[in-house]
């Protein structure tokens, strides 16, 4: 990499710089750890040998895949295809939350007014078909992703990107609608594909065509089905770049699909695959025992991390009239007994989710600070007065509280909202009974939902557990055809533009978006803009805490629980691990990108 002077601004300092200045990296808040010309990231083994194989199971719902295009709405792509087959202009690392370094782009120049970012492509960058990665391919990718033929969430993600322009054969400029220091990272993380992919067909009809990307792996045997194997490209163009040194050491990465939990765990014990993240505490506490664990053939390990906690909870579909009253939503939340479930079902492994950014600096607590009030005061006419008081904690049944007391509070709230118990059910003024349908594609959740279901029965609410297969669940969720479901939003060290897709009004009306709530609140939209426009970490922290406060007071979800470690079963004899575990990581991506095969596995 060339040693360009960094254009990124130091926190709190505003300087003017000509757009011709370029940098080997971009830091949203100016905090760049690795200087130009660095050798490799600290958490990798740059001398890790290549070879061998890692066999995993996806952390997502078990289902067959029916397409190779991960960018369209309909169908299910194979797990891993995005990160293994498509390179991006910039690539982040597991040390820093808001900094990315050049990959396809050897440098990035951001104008002092932050209204454009120009990327110069690496002259060695090549697609899998041997053709060079050019600015025209980048522009083609962007135009395709924001078209109606791609999944609608991309139009939300890139909503603030006004245009992408070919400046020269290997130079592309992105113009932004407004100054937003996150946008160079947003466009820098866009996966780039060849203009030749699909051979000119409408993009939503590119289904079985193997992607033409520039990433470190290709598909070994491109057939639709359950399992998929990626093979390392021995001619991978970026193998010797600092951002890739010590990465992607396995010759083969396989993801195996099992359609139920029992057969999947038996497959792990039988040696059919090597690595599995466990999400069910009961399994972790009771099943990871026996001969293969006693002998050391399999290892049970909790990998600690500093990741913010995931938000997980039951979410209401606000598009349904019955959920419009905040008192109804709050009352339903009071029927959830986390303390009993953690004790009886989860072996004490979990912590309660409070707010939407648990276990992070963005979690709102107590009364709003002066920095939060500066953002909330202009929105006071649109906010409930309670928002300016203490932020509510998730209901607890720990002594001196109890589930009985919580249900009494719930009953009072429902009565205030016009729902009273008569004729064997909770009914409104029209005599209509309050019923709920919980939609899921995970039959195993019945043991989690049943205690909640029993508590709701005491309020006169009948909850029906509706388990359907993955494809039907996806179809119904894309059409927002549900009342209550569960959602998990991965924690982030720097939440930003993706929140527009999850919480913004525009996404609420976009089929297939991540705004499953149907949340369309002008105050939330205003705070989201403060989030994406933050130019310092302090501003980002204040905006997210204010947002968390507003969302929590809205009682749009019934918060669940989160774990502070990745629970993993794996075969230690087949792998070697880097000596340093990074602070911020996803355990699947970390394992398949930085572990390497032991001599016996090569």
Ordered structural domains, the chain, with CATH: 1-38+87-214 (3.40.190.10), 311-557 (3.10.105.10)
Rounded distance between C-alpha atoms, residue 551 and residue 356, angstroms: 8
On the CB side of 351, how many CA atoms lie within 13 Å of its CA? 14
Rounded distance between C-alpha atoms, residue 563 and residue 361, angstroms: 17
Q: Find out whether 442 and 467 touch, Cβ atoms under 8 Å.
A: yes
pTM of the predicted model, to two decimals?
A: 0.77
On the CB side of 380, how many CA atoms lie within 13 Å of its CA? 8
- Tell me which residue of 470, 471, 179, 430 sits closest to 321, measured CA to CA: 430
DSSP codes joined into one string, 499-554: HHHHH-HHHHTSTT-S-TT----HHHHHHHHHHHH--SHHHHHHHHHHHHHHHHHH
> Which residues of the chain, if any, have pLDDT below 50?
1-21
- Residues in contact with 481: Cβ distance below 8 Å, sequence separation at least 6, in sequence order: none
Residue in the structure block whose two tokens are 């690795």 = 34
Note the Cα 493 to chain centre separation in Å: 11
pLDDT in tens, 219-247: 998 988 789 999 999 999 999 999 999 99
- Tell me which residue of 324, 510, 104, 474 sits closest to 502, measured CA to CA: 510
Eight-class DSSP state of 387: G
- Residues in contact with 266: Cβ distance below 8 Å, sequence separation at least 6, in sequence order: none
- Tell me which residue of 532, 518, 514, 526 sits closest to 550, measured CA to CA: 526
Residue in the structure block whose two tokens are 């490799």 = 40
Q: Give, in order, the Cα–Cα distances in Å from 340 to each of 333, 471, 563, 570.
A: 15, 33, 17, 31
> How much of the chain is in helix, strand and coil states, percent to nearest 5?
30, 20, 50
- Map residue 409 onto helix, strand or coil: helix
Q: Give, in order, the Cα–Cα distances in Å from 545 to each of 162, 369, 370, 393.
A: 29, 9, 12, 14
Q: Give, in order, the Cα–Cα distances in Å from 515 to each of 197, 332, 489.
A: 30, 20, 11
Q: Which H or E run includes 332? A: helix 326-333
Q: Find out whether 512 and 151 touch, Cβ atoms under 8 Å.
A: yes
Rounded distance between C-alpha atoms, residue 70 and residue 217, angstroms: 15
CB atoms within 10 A of CB 423: 8
Eight-class DSSP state of 72: S
Amino acid 62: pLDDT: 66
Amino acid 356: pLDDT: 94
**Cis preceding-peptide flag for 465 (omega within 30 of 0):** no
DSSP codes joined into one string, 126-167: B-TTSPBP-HHHHHHHHHHHTSTTS-THHHHHTTTEEEEEEE
Q: Find out whether 53 and 253 touch, Cβ atoms under 8 Å.
A: yes
Rounded distance between C-alpha atoms, residue 105 and residue 118, angstroms: 9
Q: Find out whether 275 and 53 touch, Cβ atoms under 8 Å.
A: no
């Amino acid at each position: 990499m060339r040693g360009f002077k960094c254009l990124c601004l130091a926190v709190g300092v505003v300087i003017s710089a000509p757009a011709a200045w370029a940098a080997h990296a971009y830091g949203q808040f100016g905090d760049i750890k690795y200087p130009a010309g660095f050798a490799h990231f600290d958490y990798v083994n740059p001398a890790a040998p290549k070879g061998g194989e890692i066999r995993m199971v996806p952390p997502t719902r078990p289902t067959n895949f029916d397409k190779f295009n991960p960018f369209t709405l309909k169908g299910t792509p194979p797990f891993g295809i995005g990160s293994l087959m498509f390179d991006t202009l910039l690539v982040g690392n597991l040390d820093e939350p808001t900094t990315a370094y050049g990959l396809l782009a050897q440098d990035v120049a951001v104008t002092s007014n932050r209204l454009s970012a120009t990327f110069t492509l690496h002259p060695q960058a090549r697609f899998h078909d041997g053709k060079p990665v050019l600015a025209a391919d980048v522009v083609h990718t962007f135009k395709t992703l924001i078209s109606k033929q791609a999944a609608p969430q991309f139009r939300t993600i890139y909503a603030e990107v006004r245009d992408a322009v070919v400046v020269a054969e290997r130079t592309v400029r992105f113009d932004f609608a407004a100054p937003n220091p996150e946008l160079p990272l947003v466009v820098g993380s866009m996966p780039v594909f060849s203009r030749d992919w699909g051979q000119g067909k409408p993009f939503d009809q590119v289904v079985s065509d193997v992607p033409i990307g520039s990433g470190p792996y290709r598909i070994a045997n491109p057939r639709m089905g359950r399992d998929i194997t990626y093979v390392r490209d021995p001619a991978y163009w970026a193998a010797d770049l600092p951002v890739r040194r010590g990465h992607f050491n396995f010759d083969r990465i396989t993801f195996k699909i099992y359609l139920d939990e029992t057969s999947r765990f038996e497959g792990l014990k039988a040696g059919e695959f090597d690595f599995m993240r466990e999400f069910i505490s009961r399994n972790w506490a009771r099943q990871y025992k026996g001969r293969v664990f006693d002998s050391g053939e399999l290892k049970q390990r909790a990998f600690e991390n500093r990741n913010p906690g995931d938000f997980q909870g039951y979410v209401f579909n606000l598009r349904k009239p019955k959920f419009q009253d905040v008192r109804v939503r709050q009352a339903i939340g009071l029927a959830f007994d986390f303390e009993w479930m953690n004790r009886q079902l989860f072996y004490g492994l979990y912590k309660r989710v409070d707010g939407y950014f648990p276990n992070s600096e963005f979690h709102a607590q107590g009364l709003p600070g002066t920095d939060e009030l500066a953002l909330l005061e202009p929105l006071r006419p649109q906010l409930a007065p309670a928002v300016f008081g203490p932020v509510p904690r998730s209901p607890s049944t720990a002594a001196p509280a109890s589930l009985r007391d919580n249900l009494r509070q719930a009953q009072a709230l429902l009565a205030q909202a016009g729902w009273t118990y008569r004729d064997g059910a909770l009914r409104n003024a029209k005599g209509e009974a309050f019923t709920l349908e919980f939609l899921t594609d995970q039959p195993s959740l019945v043991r989690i939902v049943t205690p909640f279901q029993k508590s709701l029965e005491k309020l006169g609410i009948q909850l029906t557990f509706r388990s359907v297969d993955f494809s039907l669940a996806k179809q119904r969720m894309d059409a927002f055809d549900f009342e209550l479901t569960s959602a998990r939003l991965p924690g982030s060290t720097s939440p930003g533009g993706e929140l527009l897709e999850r919480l913004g009004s525009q996404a609420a009306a976009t089929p297939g978006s991540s705004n499953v709530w149907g949340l369309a609140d002008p105050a939330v939209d205003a705070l989201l803009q403060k989030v994406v426009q933050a130019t310092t970490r302090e501003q980002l922290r204040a905006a997210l805490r204010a947002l968390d406060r507003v969302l929590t007071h809205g009682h749009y979800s019934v918060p669940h629980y989160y774990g502070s470690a990745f629970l993993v079963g794996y075969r230690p004899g087949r792998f070697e691990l880097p000596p340093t575990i990074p602070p911020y990581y996803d355990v699947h991506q970390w394992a398949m990108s930085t572990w390497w095969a032991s001599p016996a596995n090569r």
